[in-house]
Amino acid sequence: MATAINERGQFTIALSGGSTPKPLYEAIASQKLPWDKIHVFWGDERYVPPDHPDSNELMTRRAWLDKVPIPAANIHAVPTLAANPAVDAAQHEKHLQEFFHVTPGQFPSLDVVLLGMGDDAHTASLFPHTAALKVCDRLITVGNKDNSQRITFTYPLINAARSVIFLVAGANKRPALAQVFAPVADDFTYPSRLIRPQGELFWLLDAAAGLELKP
């Protein structure tokens, strides 16, 4: 964070949703950090209003953002109110292009993209065998989980990050992890395999998730 702020004047991070990162967000909320220099994005969002119990933004606000003096302008929530996910995805992509000063076709490098992984090996809202996995020319696209739509970073945007951190917990993730780390497996069946960033990649696993992985 210090390097990013010293070199570029700000630190940009995309967050994951679901249940795993909540304790991390609660811990970050008690830190004294240069909040005015930190810009928060989300790697994916469920297509629900921001006050809906399934909203990744709501979880993050309750666990972290509502408890710290981060300027509202530094919170780059995914829009979900157009009643059309493709419209909201396009609007959010435009927002990212303007914020990072990139033109269509260019991929900005966030300082950190924090990711989770589901027991089907999805990450962000890049689900197995869905159209979102083939989107390589956009920053943001529409994801699909069991016919319910979401908004998600594309995998090339994730891969452009300076640092990608997976946070994975629970024994139910073991079979998916085994396939993600296997020398050969299908990327479209196990989407987390598509994450091969140009920058650093870290996998933080709890003991239950990592039990059967060989170093």
Ligand X SMILES: O=C1O[C@H](COP(=O)(O)O)[C@@H](O)[C@H](O)[C@H]1O
Q: What residues make contact with ligand X under the rule CB under 6 A?
A: 16-20, 44, 56, 115-118, 124-125
DSSP secondary structure of the chain: -HHHHHHHS-EEEEE--SSTTHHHHHHHTTS---GGGEEEEESEEESS-TTSTT-HHHHHHHHTGGGS---GGGB-PPP--SS-HHHHHHHHHHHHHHHHT--TT-----SEEEE---TT--BTTB-TT-GGGG--S-SEEEEEETTEEEEEE-HHHHHTSSEEEEEE-SGGGHHHHHHHSSSS--TTTSGGGG---SSEEEEEE-HHHHTT---
Cβ proximity to ligand X: between 4 and 195 the closer is 195
Least distance in Å: CB of 68 to ligand X? 21
Least distance in Å: CB of 36 to ligand X? 26
The residue assigned the tokens 């970073």 is: 153
Cβ proximity to ligand X: between 37 and 189 the closer is 189
Cβ proximity to ligand X: between 96 and 113 the closer is 113
Least distance in Å: CB of 191 to ligand X? 11
Cβ proximity to ligand X: between 4 and 151 the closer is 151
Least distance in Å: CB of 120 to ligand X? 10
CA-based nearest residue to 191, from 125, 112, 96, 92 = 125
Cβ proximity to ligand X: between 8 and 52 the closer is 52
Least distance in Å: CB of 114 to ligand X? 9
